[in-house]
Amino acid sequence: MDFKYVRENEEKSILEKQKKVDSDFWRQKYHIQGIVGLINDPNGFSQFNEKYHMFYQWNPLKTDHTAKYWAHSTSVDLLHWKREKTALRPETEYTKNGVYSGSALIIDEKLYLFYTGNVKDDEGNRSSYQCIAISQDGKNFKRIEPVIINQPDGYTRHIRDPKVWEKDGTYYMVLGIQSSDLKGKTVLYSSENIYDWKFEGEIAGAYKGKLKEFGFMWECPDYFQLKDEKTDKMTDILLFSPQGLKPEGDLYNNKYQSGYFLGKLNYEKPEFIIESDFIEIDRGHDFYAPQTMVDNKGRRLIIGWMGVPEEEDYPTIENEWLHCLTLPRQLKFMDGKLYQLPIEEMNTIRGEKTEFLSEVKGEREVGKGLIYELKAEFTNIGSNFGLKLRVGKNCETVLRFDYNEKKFTLDRSHNRQSDKSLRKVYLGDIDKLELTVFVDNSSIEIFINNGKEVFSSRIFPDKDGNGITVFSENSINAKIEKWEWK
């Protein structure tokens, strides 16, 4: 393969397409997105040299998954991102068919990236390599390839997405993998020096412990601990993206899911002892492959890909770009589940504020806006009610609470994307509903009751879609606060 061609083709594609991409009405303002082409999984989320670093899967050539690079952006506040030069390209013997996802770790004041190299032969047979890239300045990387070659016995070569951490002087790595009988799993490796890795064993997966059938592949595993906000007890969390789950009512309605198990990681056995059901971390249409990190403030932060594999029929393809990442969130653990909270930095981009406080019956317009943060509090609940956002002549995004079903629904069916399906979550009997909503040019992120439930979805309204409406079948008390984003 002519690796010089990789760089030249990348530069040519950017020059040809960037003007068309930049002119698109649906380009985001506060979300990481590719300068052209497709992006997907967040990679290498870290804080190094006083900056937040976000790497992400990128195809600069097309709006599909035929090429995989690591693009790179940095920020001092998690909101204003500067595009850096491309970090990793598929231009080596061990990555020639793609630089797949992975993570980052700071070791001895150097930034280490861990990633999967994907290689296919002329017959399409795959080889997988776990690799390392090291940087002293956070911009230029020396690649060490590979440190793990292919898979242990009993598994296919679908092994990828290393997440690495250090504990008591030993480095550990979890990888998503597929067993020989085509079941999704997570395996654990260890290293004393970061370069030589030992296979410890399978820690979780279909037919492991009490778990039964649970998908044909587990992607992007992430292991971490969080302290319960109420009890101070530490809880182990295994976050991952299983493929192959069948829909169950309001659950698992995307092509592929993201969620977590609570439990305890036994390093000696090894095994992640599952102590909960699988909990979907996001209820929206577009959330996959999330990655977490701890910053210098001690916060466990999370960012996801605002997309899902094989659910990609979005209108921005016509303008040579596709997908973005979510806004960063802070994770907290209480009441037996993860809560996601908007980061405090969101307050710094609040512009002009408008308020509405009234009793509403029927439908009432309460404002206008394209890019904003909105807080809504509803009390005196006794019937169906909700909000309509980005309302235009032929478009709207509806946030509705069904009083009889006790469910919250996100309805984006009156927008330009082809998928018109609803997303729902059961809230039960409530006497108050609090929503924090972030709306960008082509996305909505909804935090319900202080982040107990979250919906992330792309929306594609018309250019006149700027109305904000409150509706209720019976009288309801509504308090609305809205901030335009600076």
CB atoms within 10 A of CB 204: 27
DSSP label of 355: E
Taking phi over 0 as left and psi of -120 to 50 as alpha, with beta for the rest, 8 belongs to alpha
Kindly provide the residue ranges of all beta strands, DSSP E only, lying in 87-180, ordered along the sequence.
99-107, 110-120, 126-135, 142-149, 155-167, 170-179
In order of 126, 156, 174, 279, the CA distances from 181 in angstroms are 17, 9, 20, 25
Where b means 16+ CB within 10 Å and e means fewer, 207-231 reads ebeeeeebbbbbbbbbbbebeeeee
CA distances from 187 to 95, 183, 262 (A): 22, 13, 17
Of the candidates 31, 119, 125, 22, which has an alpha carbon nearest to the alpha carbon of residue 68?
A: 119
Q: Please report, in angstroms and rounded to a whole number, the separation of the first and last CA atoms in the chain.
A: 47
Q: Which of 329, 245, 343, 335 is nearest to 290 (CA)?
A: 329
Rounded CA-CA distance 221/259 in Å is: 10
CB-facing half-sphere around the CA of 204: CA atoms within 13 A: 30
Planar angle of CA 415, 419, 421, nearest 5 degrees: 95
**121 tagged catalytic:** no
DSSP secondary structure letter of residue 394: S
CA distance 41 to 34: 12
DSSP letter for each residue of 418-451: S---EEEEE--S-SEEEEEEEEETTEEEEEETTT
Q: Which of 41, 161, 419, 440 is catalytic?
A: 41
The full DSSP string for 12-76 is HHHHHHHHHHHT-TT--SSS-B-SSEEEEEEEEEEEETTEEEEEEEEESS-SSSS--EEEEEEES
Question: What DSSP assignment string belongs to 72-85?
Answer: EEEESSSSS-EEPP
Quote the CA–CA distance of 340 and 10 in Å, as a whole number: 36
**Shortest CA distance to 327 belongs to which of 23, 1, 52, 88?**
52
Cβ(50)–Cβ(73) under 8 Å? Answer: no
**DSSP calls for 217-271:** EEEEEEEEEEEBTTT--EEEEEEEEEE-PPPBTTBS-SSS--EEEEEEEETTTTE
- By annotation, the residues acting in catalysis are 41
